[in-house]
Chains A and B, each alone.
Chain A
């Protein structure tokens, strides 16, 4: 309580002495600090919030920037996007960041019971950071300098509450007191015919996190699951859905919040799928790995432990024109000890150079017929 007052007073003082905005002044709206571990400074005046998956934060150069739209393209054959969604939601609740959750199910509240809890200290201490594995993680090259500063927040888990990014234990449900807070708003979008109501709900929610100078406010999270799912009544209204995403994107630009939206691209027409992909600041896609695929087993090392594949199609470029080029864009999704989500750079078994295409060549999501098993 006392610490919070001090932080508030300090920011008010800084706000009044602050002159006209220059590109060198920091945005003090939501101050990342030891009392606010849920946020972290990034390059170009951005502030990150964690995805809830330590490896993903590293790959993306810190996390999800406030004011951005994250979209995940689902695979109709497997629910791996739910792993990303759950960790995103849990991370926000652990950090006391208000959450608005919209889902096509009739009772979205029920889903909250499946959210994971941060792993206990003894689990994390035993997590051996294999240096070989460490090298395998490809970090966006221009962010390496930032990674070094915050090394400690990625490693040892001193106290779950003070970590920027927790290592969530998928077998342990989130403690009830996190779910009983008044910070969670759930919406079912199954019966929604008119997206205007959902838009207003989001707009109202976002008024809690305005991006003004000198205003200390928490950050917020909006999680929207399977947005164009055929169960939803509006799912054949393509322009209306696009319009909704556009206004959500515009609203988020002036908020200290992140929207995390998943959708099955196969439901959309190709041109609309592309329109949605252009809307995203950070674009990910997940894909199931078929069981007992002998071809794939030959191609990939550690195939038996993989539950799916994650592809990073686009990384947010806020306040900059420089694209983020990752050394690798395809990662395997594994469960360490069957509990903790890890992403590993794909280790392709050596292939005959004259045949097959290198996995590095294609990060496209277009429906090309030439796609290999790893192109998606």
Chain B
């Protein structure tokens, strides 16, 4: 089966260009990890853009804890995706959670948020939407909003996970891995990494900063069907350079 991936990341994720196939991330949990030195926000932007491509009827529900709408709108436009228009077409739902708080023991907090998302998903399914992608930017801010009650955040993610298994939604979450490196038993990140079907990790290069290579991505894709009826884990590593209108991916040691 000859597939023509757009780039190394799409190939690692199994995203084909023409969109005639079903959204391959349906029913899967994608965990994106990064660090202070190397941000992986561009991965989220790329996935949003792919999900909202004109060939499909996918819908994106975006939980924004990190930046306001204007930020994403502006930068996605340069990637060729008009969030304001998609929002009007009910393909992009933006939940501004910059000021949201989920204090301890408050039933109205994350549980209510899940309720809202579930409502949106159910109504979209009734309209026969093929796939809904829920994006969380980012989880460490959700923990801060919950004042440290990581259990509530985990519960919320487990609820969202039911949406992926029951309704074929895609869950994409960004978290900052370096926060948890020094902790003894960081439940949030351990459980997330266990739950994730796809793990995308952005790290700086071993050789340090460079103007032409911004970092390296490692993609672990669990249970990727290889077209011969069997599934296997697949791990890819490549370098990237982030630009205003897209990202270049290339094998280590080769500049595109």
Residues of the B chain whose Cβ atoms lie less than 8 Å from the Cβ of A254: 68
Looking at B73, B99, B101, the one whose CB has the most chain A CB atoms below 10 A away is B99
- Contact check, B99 vs A247: say whether CB atoms are below 8 A apart: yes
| Partner of A246 from B75, B77, B144, B214 at Cβ < 8 Å | B144
Residues of the B chain whose Cβ atoms lie less than 8 Å from the Cβ of A251: 99
Residue of B nearest to A326 (CB): B209
- Contact check, A322 vs B36: say whether CB atoms are below 8 A apart: no
- Contact check, A243 vs B144: say whether CB atoms are below 8 A apart: yes
- Contact check, A323 vs B140: say whether CB atoms are below 8 A apart: no
Tell me the bound Cα distance from A323 to B243 in angstroms.
9
- Chain A contact-residue range equals 35 or more
Residues of the A chain whose Cβ atoms lie less than 8 Å from the Cβ of B78: 320
- Contact check, B211 vs A23: say whether CB atoms are below 8 A apart: no
- Contact check, A314 vs B98: say whether CB atoms are below 8 A apart: no
Residues of the A chain whose Cβ atoms lie less than 8 Å from the Cβ of B183: 271
| Partner of A365 from B36, B179, B204 at Cβ < 8 Å | B36
Q: Decide if B210 is an interface residue (CB 8 Å cutoff).
A: yes
* Listed stretches A93-101, A118-126, A272-280; interface member: A272-280
B 209-244 contacts with A by CB, 8 A: 209-211, 214, 242-244
Q: Decide if B141 is an interface residue (CB 8 Å cutoff).
A: yes
Q: Decide if A360 is an interface residue (CB 8 Å cutoff).
A: yes
Per-residue CB contact flags for chain A residues 232-252 toward chain B (1 = under 8 Å, else 0) read 000000111011001100110
| Partner of B214 from A240, A270, A274, A323 at Cβ < 8 Å | A323
B235 to chain A, nearest CB (A): 25
| Partner of A278 from B140, B182, B208 at Cβ < 8 Å | B140
- Contact check, A322 vs B208: say whether CB atoms are below 8 A apart: no
| Partner of B208 from A246, A271, A360 at Cβ < 8 Å | A360
Q: Decide if A44 is an interface residue (CB 8 Å cutoff).
A: yes
Per-residue CB contact flags for chain A residues 344-362 toward chain B (1 = under 8 Å, else 0) read 0000000000000010111
* Listed stretches B15-23, B39-47, B124-132; interface member: B39-47
Residues of the B chain whose Cβ atoms lie less than 8 Å from the Cβ of A114: none
Instruction: Known contacts A271-B182, A275-B144; decide if A314 and B36 are in contact (CB<8 Å).
Output: yes
- Contact check, A360 vs B75: say whether CB atoms are below 8 A apart: no
- Contact check, B74 vs A363: say whether CB atoms are below 8 A apart: no
Tell me the bound Cα distance from A53 to B116 in angstroms.
47
B 7-44 contacts with A by CB, 8 A: 36-39, 41-42
Residues of the B chain whose Cβ atoms lie less than 8 Å from the Cβ of A242: 144, 148
- Contact check, B140 vs A321: say whether CB atoms are below 8 A apart: no
Residue of B nearest to A67 (CB): B68
A 317-372 contacts with B by CB, 8 A: 317-323, 325, 327, 329, 358, 360-366
Tell me the bound Cα distance from A271 to B207 in angstroms.
24
Per-residue CB contact flags for chain A residues 182-206 toward chain B (1 = under 8 Å, else 0) read 0000000000000000000000000
Tell me the bound Cα distance from A275 to B175 in angstroms.
11
A157 to chain B, nearest CB (A): 33
Q: Decide if A162 is an interface residue (CB 8 Å cutoff).
A: no
Q: Decide if A109 is an interface residue (CB 8 Å cutoff).
A: no
A282 to chain B, nearest CB (A): 12
Residues of the B chain whose Cβ atoms lie less than 8 Å from the Cβ of A274: 36, 176, 178-179, 181-182
Residues of the B chain whose Cβ atoms lie less than 8 Å from the Cβ of A314: 36
Residues of the A chain whose Cβ atoms lie less than 8 Å from the Cβ of B147: 239-240, 243
Tell me the bound Cα distance from A363 to B243 in angstroms.
22
Residue of B nearest to A357 (CB): B208
Per-residue CB contact flags for chain A residues 301-328 toward chain B (1 = under 8 Å, else 0) read 0000000000001100111111101010
- Contact check, A329 vs B209: say whether CB atoms are below 8 A apart: yes
B79 to chain A, nearest CB (A): 8
| Partner of A319 from B38, B74, B98, B181 at Cβ < 8 Å | B74
Q: Decide if A146 is an interface residue (CB 8 Å cutoff).
A: no
Q: Decide if A111 is an interface residue (CB 8 Å cutoff).
A: no
Instruction: Known contacts A141-B211, A274-B176, A278-B179; decide if A246 and B243 are in contact (CB<8 Å).
Output: no
Q: Decide if A283 is an interface residue (CB 8 Å cutoff).
A: yes
Per-residue CB contact flags for chain A residues 259-297 toward chain B (1 = under 8 Å, else 0) read 000000000011100110110000100000000000000
Tell me the bound Cα distance from A300 to B178 in angstroms.
32
- Contact check, A325 vs B211: say whether CB atoms are below 8 A apart: yes
Q: Decide if B185 is an interface residue (CB 8 Å cutoff).
A: no
- Contact check, A361 vs B244: say whether CB atoms are below 8 A apart: no
- Contact check, B67 vs A361: say whether CB atoms are below 8 A apart: no
Residue of A nearest to B100 (CB): A250
- Contact check, B208 vs A362: say whether CB atoms are below 8 A apart: yes
Tell me the bound Cα distance from A239 to B143 in angstroms.
9
Residues of the A chain whose Cβ atoms lie less than 8 Å from the Cβ of B38: 323
A195 to chain B, nearest CB (A): 12
The 8 closest A-B pairs by CB, nearest first: A361-B208, A239-B148, A250-B98, A270-B182, A319-B74, A274-B179, A321-B42, A246-B144
Beyond A274-B179, A360-B209, A364-B204: 18 further Cβ-contacts under 8 Å?
A23-B74, A44-B75, A45-B74, A242-B148, A251-B99, A270-B182, A274-B36, A274-B182, A278-B176, A314-B36, A319-B74, A320-B74, A320-B75, A321-B242, A322-B242, A323-B214, A325-B214, A363-B209
Query: Can you spell out 18 A-B residue pairs with CB atoms less than 8 angstroms apart?
Result: A23-B74, A238-B148, A239-B148, A250-B98, A253-B98, A271-B181, A275-B140, A313-B36, A314-B36, A318-B71, A319-B74, A320-B78, A321-B41, A322-B243, A323-B242, A325-B209, A360-B209, A363-B209
